[in-house]
Chain A
Amino acid sequence: MSRTHITCTVNGEDTDFLANPGTSLLDALRDELGLTGAKEGCGTGDCGACSVLMDGKVTCACLVFAPEAQGRDLMTVEGLSSADGVDGDHLHPLQQTFLEGAALQCGVCTPGFLVAAKALLDHNPDPTESEIRYALAGNLCRCTGYDKIIRSVQEAAVQLRSAT
Chain B
Amino acid sequence: MEYAAPTTVDEARTLLADNPGSRVFAGATDVVPQMRSGRPEPSVLIDLKRIDRLMSIAHNNGHWTIGAAMPTSELTSNGEFSSVFPGISEGAGWIGSDQIQNRSSLGGNLCNGSPAADSVPAMIASEARAVIAGTDGERTIPVADVVTGPGQLSLADGEFVVEFEIDDPPANTGDAYIRMTPRTEMDIAIVGAAVRVTMDGDTCTDARVVLGAVAPTAVRVPDAEAALIGSSLDEAALAEVAAAASAAANPINDKRGTIEYRVQVAGVLAKRAAVLAAERARA
Contact = CB atoms under 8 A, between A and B. Distances in A.
Nearest to B183: A137
B185 A137 contact: yes
A138 B185 contact: yes
A59 B3 contact: no
A137 B97 CA distance: 6
B3 A21 contact: yes
Interface residues of A, number: 32
Interface string A131-163: 000110111000000000000000000000000
Contact of B186 (A20, A21, A46, A135): A46
Nearest to B100: A45
B45 A21 contact: yes
B2 interface: yes
Contact of B103 (A43, A59, A137): A59
Contacts, number: 86
Interface in B88-125: 96-100, 102-103
A59 B1 contact: no
B3 A60 contact: no
B33 interface: yes
B5 A48 contact: no
A64 B29 CA distance: 9
Interface string A21-60: 1101000000000000000000111101001001001111
Contact of A65 (B47, B97, B102, B185): B47
Interface residues of B, number: 27
A1 to B, nearest CB: 8
A126 to B, nearest CB: 17
B98 A120 contact: yes
A62 B28 CA distance: 10
B189 to A, nearest CB: 16
B36 interface: yes
B102 A22 contact: no
A51 B102 CA distance: 12
Contact of A135 (B3, B33, B41, B98): B98
The winner among B41, B45, B47, B99 for most chain A CB atoms within 10 A is B99
Contact of A68 (B29, B36, B47): B47
Interface string B1-20: 11101000000000000000
Nearest to A119: B98
6 contacts: A20-B1, A22-B35, A59-B102, A68-B47, A137-B98, A138-B186
